[in-house]
Every structure is written in C-alpha cells, then in structure tokens.
Structure 1
Amino acid sequence: MFKEKVTIAIPTYNRAGLLQGCIKSVLAQDYPDLRLLVLDNASDDDTEIVVRSLAKEDERITYIRHETNIGFARNWNCMIEANQSPYLTIVPDDDLILPGFIRESVQALDEHPSAGFSLALAKFMDGDSTILPQKQDTGDMPDGLINGLEYIDLCIAWRGCSIYTATTMMRAAALAEVGSFDSPHSWNTIDSNLSFRLAARFDIVFLRKELAQIRVHPGQLSDYPWQKFAVLAESIDAIAYLLKSDRAADATYRQQLAERLLALNARKSESIHHLVPHLYWSWTERLELAAQDVAALIPPGDSFILVDQNQWGDQFVVHRHAIPFLERDGQYWGPPTNDEMAISELERSRSRGASFIIFGWPAFWWLYHYDALHRYLHSNFRCVLKNSRLIAFDLRQY
C-alpha cells in the first residue's frame, strides 16, 4: 500500500531562499526510505525554479503547485490528503530538521505502536540563521512513551512541552481517525489543536533531543497579544477531552478539571478586558478592591505571603506586611522551580510569622501549575476567601 515509510511535507509560499535550506536538511537525513513533498501555495517568486532544480538531482522530491493561493490551513490539509506513507512530518519552509530526526522518530513510533505521534525538541534561530541561546522548556515531560491524556493534563497546567510541527512525526492511521487540521479558534493554533485531538485518543513518544531548528521571526503571529485568546481557547477544549475520558470518573479529578476550567475562562476574560475598557474594572479599581479584601481579612500588623508576580507592590495595603513570594532578603526572587521548593519556601515564611498566603489574580495560574502546592494548601489550611481578585488561605490553622 505504501511506497515509502516516511513523507516529509513542506508547505511553502514565496520563500525560495529559505526553502532551499529546508529541502536540503531533509535530503541530508540518514534515512533513504522517504518521500519529500513540496506544496507550493501559488508562489510568485523563484520557488518553482528552486524545487524543480533540486528535483532533477533527487527523485524523492514531489512538487505540487496550486494555481491560486488557497490559504495556509487548506494547504496544510492538502499535505495530509497527499500523504501515502505510514508516517508524516510537516516542516514549515523556513525551518530545518537536524541529522537523525527521521531515523529516531521512526524508531520511536515503530517501537510504540500505541503512539499517535512522536515529539522531539527544537533549537531556535533568528532570521539570519544564527542559533539563539534560548532553550525549549520541557516542563515535567517524562522521556519515552506518555499517555496522551497525561500529556494534555501537563499542557493545561503549563507543565508540558510546546508543539512545533517540524519536531513531530505523526502516524497516518491516527490522523485517519481524528481528522485533519481544524481551526475552531485561530489559524495559528491549528497545530496544537491537532496535537490535542491526537493525544485525546493515542499515546505520544517524547524524545528529549534537539532534532529540529525553528526560525523565530520578528512580528510572528504568536507574538501578537490577541494570540493568547486562541491559546486559552485550545486549552479549554483540551479540558473537554479530559472530561470525556475515563479519568473523569474520579470525582476528585473532575473537581480539579472544573477548577482549571474556571481559571482558564477567567484568564480568557481578563485578556479581553483591556480591549473593551468599559466592560470591566480598570487595573487600579481592581487593585483597590483587592486591598479592601486584604484589609478586611488580615489583622493590622500581621504579615502575609503575597503571590502576585511582583505586580501589586508591597505597599498596596497599609499596616500589613506583604512578604513577596519567592523572596530573598525581602525582595521578590521569582517563581519557584518546582512544587517542593514552593512548599519549602511557604513553610519558611510561615515559620517567620506569615499568617496568610494571598494569591492575586496575576498569579492564579500558580494554583494549577504547582499542583502539589495547591493540594498541600487545601489539605492543611482553610481557604478563607476566593473571588475574581484574590484567593486567600489562613496559615494559622491546620
């Protein structure tokens, strides 16, 4: 049925210069059983000349040109439709795959038939192909085979690993079950949308190796402030997949998902507020209300831990001492590296007299990112106030 084991598909539009490097990174792979499919979305530069010139030298290249621009999402779906291999990777025309990507990705999928896709790490480069120092955050991702639902759970807690199509290899049989790219929220999140749909039904394989090189351009869509709306919307969809799974049979887990859903929905609303100024409190008004809440809750002279991403300031409420979290020598130090550190620092501040811990709205995400801290607080202390401005726990009581 299949001609080649792997298809590498490159969607392209008016990037003849960068495209050549992308193609050569594929042809240089130490895996001969591949087909390279280039789908040209009606470029009007030298794209066709570049591809046909390379195709004369390597018969593994297939070139398909659309006579009119059909939009990048439809072009990407054409790659799934044109695929005739059991494994498919989509490499944007400005990215590169690094030596060993195909061989190691194929091996991972061959060894784990339950996996819908494999996921590797990326290096980053700028527009001039200079390697950037930034490293991809892997969160709490374990190596090797991961239950797809566990992966989704990590992602909605911001402890997963970002998806770049050039770092993934998808199983064609899995794509046939879940369908092709879709854009319910944004053109720019069609990759994460598909990965969540695959992970809802299949395992994944994580390769903790940098096997692709992603180009970072100034002014990318992902840099736009409104892009966060789509990211939050995809995360809310991901929670729906978890609620539909067998995991949701556990009442405690269902409650956790409900709390995350409420938190994500609140963040989505908060992201919209600055676009519609009269829809909600201003930042100053909201902070004043939070200060009133704290003043009514905490006795004058008491100390409390303030988790606010260092945005409220230690003087936002008078006659109470706000301890930044984390703190070193009384100054904000940044978020903890893990749950163990968060709990240890909480107890250190508590031993020094902190009577409450206050999570301000800029740091609500802490309670879902640091799951163990969240459970520790609920297991040992009473939540005495929870509204859209702050969440407070009384640290004086066990």
Structure 2
Amino acid sequence: MISVYLPTHNRAALLMRAIDSVLAQDYPHLELIVVDDASTDDTAARIAAHPARARLRYLRQPEPSGACAARNRAIAVARGALITGLDDDDAFLPGRLSGLLARFAEGQWSCVSSSVREHTPRGDITRRVDVGRIDLEAMLHYNRLGNQVLTRTAWLREIGGFDPALPALQDYDTWVRLVTARGAAYRLREASYLQFKDHELTRISGDRTRVLEGLGRFVAKHRDQLAPRHLDSLEILRRRLAGETLPPGDFLRLVNRGNLKGALPLLINTTPTLAALKRLLALRYRAR
C-alpha cells in the first residue's frame, strides 16, 4: 500500500482538487491521509460531504502547528509500506503513483521523484531537469528532487520525518537526510506532479524572508557535510532567492560543475553579451 499525506490549512476549495487527483489514480492500493492544520474555513464540512469520504482519513490538529507537524502526524499513523506527499494547492497527474512505484521497485533507490508540470496564466510548462540518478554529492549543491518523493515509510520515520524548526526548505533538508541514510535517489523524466502557479494564496516558497532564513538554517544544520564547492552552490541559491544578480567576478569565483545551470541565469541578467559569457566560461575551465 502507498500512503499519501496531504497537509492543509484554509484552502478548502483547492484541497478538493488535490483530493480528487489522488483518488483518481490508477494504482488501487492507497490510503489518503488529510491532516487539517486547524483550518478556520469550511474544510471540515467539505471533507464530510465529499462523495468519497469513506476513502479518506481525516485528522485535525487542535491548533495550527505548521505543515511539517501535519506531515509528521500523517507519517506516524500511515499504514502503507510506501509513502509520498501532496501539497493542498497542487495535484497528481494520472498514473503518478504507478509510475513512481515502478522505478522504486527496482530496489536500488532511497526515493523516487518526477519532473513537474507548472500550470501558469500563460499556459503549462514542464520542468525536466536533473533527471536520472541523484547521489548525495549532487543533492548538496541544491534540491534536485523537488518537493515530493516516494520512499519507504519506515525510512522516513527513521530519519525523524520533516524538521518543524526550519521555516522553509524542509523538503530539501529531509531528502538530504534520506539520501545520506539510504543512498542515491532517482528522478523520472516524466512529469506526474502538477503545480498551480495561477492562484494568489501564499506559498511558503514565495515568502522571500522565510526562505532565506530557511536556507541559513539548512547550511548551519548540514555544515559538516558541506564542502567549499557546496557552499559556493548554496551562495548562488541564496542570491537567486534574494533576487540578486551574479556579477562576472563572482560568477568565476562561485561557479562549478555542480551549480553551473543555476548560476548561468543570474550571470545572463548581469552580463550584456553572449560573447562575454563564453569568454568567462572558457577562462574558468581552462584554469582547472
């Protein structure tokens, strides 16, 4: 059985879409655990009236405790040997669970994720990046797995689940600990997770102050694992999250093979010509 945890807070309308996308999966052996983080809207009433209410496990937090606490509560009570998650403003695409399971069943991965389709006001965009095998070295540069993975429930419990002390980047922190404990992961080329970018309800990932604070705490927490090349990559990530550019001199100092894709957009926003970019890259790798 695959357990799916779905934390929610005051997003009743969006939650129904997320629930329906899970219940529509072609993989039959699943349980959906909705953890209501003390919502004050009509979430409870909508759950009670859902046509498939009998297929839902609905848990309500006595007071708002945050998404990590809600996820951890679901992880603690999950009955499935395998587990994955869904945010309440996102959705599963058809065949997601069976696709993740097929790759995980190979038996060599700590977890499996997929590419992501983004639904935007300008149309859908599929993000196919970092597909294939992802080891700890790769993960320490930046989060290459995304926000949801399929893994063993016991393994997620072993590492302590999600860290409520982090104000953001909790998924990144959790996957780093999972890959550290259980080995390399895999990201599928196929996009089976749908993120909606066309609504105005706040995502934690959109709160710049919280994300930057989360990154600082992530670095402090994993400092013993982070080599200088990883710290350079995380500095590039910090600048991107802060909305900063990357001047050519800083690009030469910080760029490495683990972060080149993330560094280039920041440099392009600063450097006026492609010729200048080519010269910088040539100098960087000629010096190695």
Q: Which is higher, the Rg of structure 1 or of structure 2? A: 1
| Matched residue, 1:352 | none
In 2, are the aligned partners of 1:229 and 1:268 still within 8 Å (CA)?
Answer: no
**TM alignment of 1:81-230, pairs within 5 A:** 81-112=76-107, 114-126=108-120, 132-139=123-130, 141-142=131-132, 146=133, 148-153=135-140, 156=141, 161=144, 163-165=146-148, 168-183=149-164, 186-202=166-182, 203-216=184-197, 217-218=199-200, 220-226=203-209, 227-230=211-214
Which whole-Å CA distance do the structure 2 matches of 1:238 and 1:259 have between them? Answer: 14
Give the partner amino acid of 1:174.
W
RMSD (Å) for aligned C-alpha atoms: 3.5
Correspondent of 2:270 among 292, 311, 316: 311
Which whole-Å CA distance do the structure 2 matches of 1:187 and 1:119 have between them? Answer: 23
**TM alignment of 1:1-398, pairs within 5 A:** 5-54=1-50, 57=52, 59-112=54-107, 114-126=108-120, 132-139=123-130, 141-142=131-132, 146=133, 148-153=135-140, 156=141, 161=144, 163-165=146-148, 168-183=149-164, 186-202=166-182, 203-216=184-197, 217-218=199-200, 220-226=203-209, 227-231=211-215, 234=218, 240-241=224-225, 257-261=227-231, 264=234, 309=268, 311=270, 324=273, 326-327=274-275, 345-346=278-279, 374=284, 376-379=285-288
The alpha carbon displacement at 1:197 in A equals 1.0
In 1, are the aligned partners of 2:119 and 2:194 still within 8 Å (CA)?
Answer: yes
The alpha carbon displacement at 1:161 in A equals 3.2
Gaps of 5+ in 1: 244-256, 275-282, 291-306, 314-323, 336-344, 347-356, 358-365, 367-371, 380-398
Give the partner amino acid of 2:105.
D
Gap change, CA 1:259 and 1:193, over 3 Å in 2: closer
In 1, are the aligned partners of 2:76 and 2:157 still within 8 Å (CA)?
Answer: no
> Residue 45 of structure 1: SS of its match in structure 2?
coil
Gaps of 5+ in 2: 250-265
Count of aligned pairs? 265
The alpha carbon displacement at 1:169 in A equals 1.3
Per-residue deviation, residues 22-46 of structure 1 (Å, max 9, x unmatched): 1111111111111111111122222
> Residue 103 of structure 1: SS of its match in structure 2?
helix
Which whole-Å CA distance do the structure 2 matches of 1:28 and 1:222 have between them? Answer: 27
Gap change, CA 1:135 and 1:67, over 3 Å in 2: same
In 2, are the aligned partners of 1:183 and 1:189 still within 8 Å (CA)?
Answer: no
Instruction: Report the identity percentage.
Output: 24
In 1, are the aligned partners of 2:38 and 2:61 still within 8 Å (CA)?
Answer: yes
